[in-house]
Amino acid sequence: MNKCPFKQGDVVTYKPSRRGYGLEDGERLVIGKNYRVERIDDGVYVVVEGYRHPGGGLYWTEFEKFEEKRGDWIKVYDLAEDKKLIAEVQNATLNTKDYGLVPEIALFGSKEWWNTIEKGIIPTYEINGIISRVYMSGHNNWPEFEIDSDGKKTSWARMGIDELYRAGCKVKLEYVVQKAKKSWTGSPYQNEVIRIYISNK
């Protein structure tokens, strides 16, 4: 049995000899998608963040070490794959008074919601620019990054593969605007990130 070449924190690409059946909650790893290694069980079984396997992990040969190629656009975050966040927002929307979003057209993250985005009923906006700063906000516990788009700077939460957020990299961010149940910033509307792409070129 060959020893796993990966370590905790490595970014790996799922390229299996078979599909990842048997993961909890009916989830499956997406072939070709990058994941961060949470731990290695028994020296050979890889457990990636956000996924569990009844046996403790998948054998390491189901993954390849992620190799970043200079100039490539890498999708570091996709809301459609963030089932945990979608479930949290939906729960807050349906079961709390002050938290969550107003389902003006459809429930956030639902099939109907995605359909309205595809049809342009909920418009999608895009920011293109350079990552000008990577930092922690709040009580030094909230990871954010700053985009410089033709001199206009905006701040966003770092989502997805954190290691790829580096000052000087190109970035493309897609988002929609949604109405919050209660305003905490003065405006009832807030930006919800759909996808983030980063290039080191």
Q: Is there a domain that residue 4 lies in?
A: no
- Tokens 């970035």, residue? 171
Whole-model pTM: value is 0.72
84 and 178, same domain (yes or no)? yes
Cβ neighbours, 10 Å, residue 60: 19
Please say if the pLDDT value at position 151 is more than 90: yes
23 and 95, same domain (yes or no)? no
Most confident residue range from 69-73, 113-117, 136-140: 113-117
Confidence (pLDDT) at 25: 44
Please say if the pLDDT value at position 126 is more than 80: yes
- Tokens 């350079």, residue? 130
23 and 102, same domain (yes or no)? no
- The total of structural domains in the chain comes to 2
Look at the alpha carbons of 125, 130, 133, 135 in this order and tell me if their dihedral is positive or negative: positive
Domain containing 81: what range? 73-199
Given a contact cutoff of 8 angstroms between Cβ atoms, the answer to whether 147 and 131 are in contact is yes
CA-based Rg of the chain, rounded to a whole angstrom? 19
Alpha-carbon span 46 to 2, nearest angstrom:
13
Mean pLDDT of the chain: 87
115 and 27, same domain (yes or no)? no
Q: Which amino acid is at 87?
A: A
Please say if the pLDDT value at position 9 is more than 90: no
Confidence (pLDDT) at 138: 80
Give the up-direction half-sphere exposure of residue 18: CA atoms within 13 A in the CB hemisphere: 5
The pLDDT tens digits of the residues spanning 75-123 come to 899 999 899 999 999 999 999 999 999 998 999 999 999 999 999 999 9
Can you read off the two tokens belonging to residue 25?
């909650």
46 and 100, same domain (yes or no)? no
3-class state of residue 114 by DSSP:
helix
Better pLDDT: 119 or 140: 119
